[in-house]
A and B are shown apart, each in its own frame.
Chain A
Amino acid sequence: MDNNCLDVKPVQLPASLSASSAADFKQLLVSRINEKGNIPLDGGKVESADSCGMQMLLCFIMTRKYQNEGVRWVDCSETLYHAACLLGMRRLAGLADSLVEELILGMD
C-alpha cells in the first residue's frame, strides 16, 4: 500500500474506454502524466472497452514507468479486468492475479 498517494485524487477511468472517446481519454491521462508517486487508478466504472482504449491505458502506465513513477489500482470493473486479461495486459498494467485479489488489494 502506497501511503503517499492516499490523498491523491484517483484518475477516474471513464465508463467507455473506446476509440470513439479516445481523444478525451488521452486528454485526461495527459493531464495527470507528470504527477509524482503512484497515481491511483479507479477503473470501477468501466463498462466497455476496446483495444484502442486499453492501449492508451497501457501507454499511460508504461510512460509512468519510464518516468520512474507508478500507478496503483483502487478499483477495477470486471469488464476492465477481463479486457486486460484477454489482451495480455494484466501484469503490465499492474493488476492482480485475480479480480478478488485486485478488489481486496484495491480497498484503501
Chain B
Amino acid sequence: MSGEFDEYLPEFLEETLQGISDFEQMVIDTDPQAGAPDLDLVNGMFRIAHSLKGNALMLGLENIGNLSHEMESLLHSLRDKPQLFDSGIVDCLLHCMDVLRSMCADISQGVDPALDQPDALMVRDELANQIARLEGKGSGEGAHVEGGGKENLSPIKNLTTELLLSDLINNNEAQEQPFWRISFRPRENARFTSVADPLKLAMQMSRWRLSSVQVLAVDQLPFLDQMNPQQCYLGWEFQIIDSVSRSDLDNLLIPWYEMGEISIQELQKSPAGHNELSGDTRVGDINAEKEDTTSLVGNKALASNGGVADSVRVDISKIDELINLTGEVLIQHSMLARTVMNLPQTDDVDLEKLHEQIDALGTQMREMQENVMFVRMLPVRHVFNRLPRMVRDLSRKLGKKVKLQMTGQETELDKSVLEGILDPLIHLVRNAIDHGIESPQKRVAQGKPETGTLAVSAWQQGGRIVIEVCDDGKGIEQEVVVQRARSQGLLVGGDDLDAEQIYQFLFIPGFSTAKNVTDVSGRGVGLDVAARNIRGMGGVIDVTSTKGRGTQLQLKLPLTLAVTDGLLVRIGRQQFVVALTSILESVHINSQKIQSIAGMGRVIHFREAYIPVVDLRRIFHYHDAKSLKLDREENPSVPHLLLVLEAENLQLAIPVDELVGQQQIVIKNMELNYNAIPGIGGATILSDGKVALILDVIALGWLFRTLVSHRAIKVA
C-alpha cells in the first residue's frame, strides 16, 4: 500500500464503491436483447470508469487504475461499435465490478490488491477479448496485460489513453459548447492540506465531460526559491460540456468554498438544471452569459444562493460520538432533575421555577437528540441497490426469469439498522428466487406469466420500518413444512397448528424443505440467520403465503437502535428496562392463580390463554433474598405483580417487584462494554448513576420458544 495516501483511502473506498454500484446499475439497465445500448448509459459508465482510474492512479493504486483503464478501453470501443453490444460485454463489465469490489475489500484490509489473481487475470482476458472483438481483431485470446503500470500497456491501449484524455479535455473544445464555467480561486494564503487539494476537485469535476481545464493566476507564482511549497498560488477554471444540474454542481463544490472563491457561470441553458435555479440565478436565454458569481466563502455560500443543497460529508464516527455525547447529556439532565427534586424548599431558591427550567431544558435536549439521530438516517436504497445485480445473476444461474420491482428506496432508517438488514434481505431475496419463483416452463404451465415478479418495498409505519419481500411464486406448501418438521423430529402430532406456527419452522436452524441442496440454498442456513439478525435488532419477521400464488415476508424493524422508550422495573435489587413496545399490560395476580403445566413450567391463565411465567432471577441466575418469592406456598396471600410482554406473537409474564417509571433511555452496547448476555439487549445509565439492564424481550421469547414451546408441541 502507498502509505503516504492512507488518509485518503476511506474517502476513496467510499467513492469507488458508490461508483461500482452506479456502474453496475447502468450495466443492468442496458438490455442486450434490445440491440445497441443507450449511449448515455455507455457515456455514464465511461465517466465512472474514468473517475475510478483517475482517483486510483492519484493514490498510487495502479492495479485498480489499470483495470479501470482497460474498462475505459472497452467502453471507448463500444461507443464506436454499439451494434456489437451483447450479453458477453454485460457479463464482462459485471465481472469487472466484482473484481474491483474484491480489490476494494483488499485495500480496506490494508492489502495491496493484485492483478495477477486468477479472477483478475480472467477478467482482463475477457476485457482483452471483448476489445479485440469490437475492434475486429479476432478473439484476442490471451491478450491480457501482465503486471501493471503504463510500461505494460500495449500501444493500442496507450493510443486509447490518448483518445480518452483528449476526449475528456482537449477535443471537445471545438465540438460542443460548454454549459458551465466554474472558476475556483483559493483565497490569499490558502494552504494545501490533505483535504484541500484542488487536484481532488479536478478529479471530481472529471466525472463530467470537460471542454477545458485552465490554470489561472500563473503570474502569481513566485520564483522557485521564494516559493512556500504548501501555499496555493494558482486558481483553476473548468468548462463542463455535460448539462449537469445546478444542485449537482453545488453539492460537489460546497466543500471547496472553505478554501476560496468559487464562481459559477451558466453558459447556456442547462436542461438538467434550469428548473432547479430560482430567482436571480435562473438563466433566461440560451447562450446568454449571465454570471452567477457567488463570491462565496464559508457559510456565505449557502446563504446567498437559494439553490444550493446544504450537505457536508461527515465521518460516521463523529456522528456516533455526537449521539453518544447527547445521550450522556440527557443522563446528566436526569441526574440533575433528580437532585433538584430532592432539594428542600428554602426562601433562597424558587424551586418551582427551577423545575420548570429543568423540564424545558429536558424537552429541548430530547429534541436535540432526535435531530442528531436523524443525521444517522440513510435511505434504504443503499441496501436495495445491491439487489438488481444479485437477482440478475441468480435468476440466470437458476434458469428463471425474474422481474425485480423496488419501491420506497428513499425510506430512511438508522445506519446501524441499515447495515443489519443487508444480509437478511439478501437471504430472503435468494430464498424467494430459489424456492419461490418457478421456472418459466412451470409458470407457463400454471397459466402464470413466464417472468416472475419479485417486489421489494420499504415504508415507515409508526416508529418502525417495514421491509417487504413479495414474490408471485409457488407459495409455501404448509403440508410439506409439517411433514419435514415431523421427519426432523421437531414436531409430534401438531395437526392443529395454524399457518403462523407452521411458518415458524422455516426459521429453525437446519430446517429446509428443499429437495436438493444447491449452493444457492437448501441447507436450511439462511432464513434462520436472517431471522436471528432481525430479532437481534429488535425486529420481527412476519410470513404470509398462499399456495400457488406467492409469499410475502415482512421485516419490521425499529428506526433506530440507539434510543427507546422504556419502563423501568425493579426485581429484587436489580433494575431492568423493558421497551414499551413489548409491554401488553401489568397485572396483579394471586399466587393461587400461578399454576404449573407439564412442559410449560409456570403459567397464568390470562384473557383466555395460558401465559408462561418467566422468572428473570432464574434465567439470569441471580439470587436476591429480598426478591419476591414466586412460590405460592411461601407467600400465598400476597398478590404478585406481573408484567405481560409480547414477543413475536408469544406472550410472557415476568414477575416484578415494582414499576419504577417510564422514561426514554439511551441504549449502551453490552458487547462493547462488557459481554453479550442472551436476553439482555443492552444497558442504560439511570438518573441516579446506576446501570439498568435492558431486556431483549424478543430474545427472551425466542429462548423460551426454543427451550419450552417445542417441547410442548411434542407433548401435545
Contact = CB atoms under 8 A, between A and B. Distances in A.
B213 A92 contact: no
A88 B215 contact: yes
Contact of A87 (B153, B193, B198, B233): B198
Contacts, number: 136
A54 interface: yes
Contact of A97 (B58, B62, B170, B236): B170
Given A30-B224, A30-B225, A98 B199 contact: no
A59 B197 contact: no
Contacts of B159: 100
Contacts of B169: 85-86
A101 B170 CA distance: 14
Max chain A C-beta neighbours (<10 A), residue from B59, B198, B215, B224: B224
Given A29-B224, A50-B197, A52-B229, A82 B54 contact: yes
A41 interface: no
B451 interface: no
Contacts of A56: 224, 227, 229
A63 B223 contact: yes
Interface residues of B, number: 48
Contacts of B616: none
Q: Binding site of A, secondary structure by majority: helix, strand, loop or mixed?
A: helix
Given A19-B230, A59-B227, A63-B223, A88 B192 contact: no
A88 B214 contact: yes
A83 interface: yes
Contact of A60 (B162, B166, B193, B224): B224
A58 B162 contact: no
Contacts of A77: 150
B256 to A, nearest CB: 12
Interface in A5-50: 16, 18-23, 25-26, 29-30, 33, 47-50
Max chain B C-beta neighbours (<10 A), residue from A25, A54, A66: A54
A87 B215 contact: yes
A10 B197 CA distance: 28
B170 A86 contact: no
B230 A52 contact: yes
B378 interface: no
A79 B57 contact: yes
A49 B199 CA distance: 9
Max chain A C-beta neighbours (<10 A), residue from B198, B223, B229, B237: B229
Contact of A52 (B54, B168, B192, B214): B192
B691 interface: no
A99 interface: yes
Contacts of B222: 59
A87 B162 contact: no
B162 A19 contact: no
A62 B224 CA distance: 9
Contact of B213 (A30, A79, A87): A87
A99 B4 contact: no
Interface string B131-171: 00000000000000000001001010011011001101110
Interface of B: 2, 4-5, 54, 57-60, 62, 150, 153, 155, 158-159, 161-162, 165-166, 168-170, 192-194, 197-199, 202-203, 206, 212-215, 218, 221-225, 227, 229-230, 232-234, 236-237
Interface of A: 16, 18-23, 25-26, 29-30, 33, 47-52, 54-56, 58-60, 62-63, 66, 77-79, 81-83, 85-89, 92, 97-101, 103
22 contacts: A19-B193, A19-B197, A20-B4, A22-B230, A26-B224, A48-B2, A48-B59, A52-B232, A54-B199, A58-B218, A78-B161, A82-B54, A82-B57, A85-B169, A86-B169, A86-B213, A87-B213, A87-B236, A88-B212, A98-B166, A99-B158, A100-B159
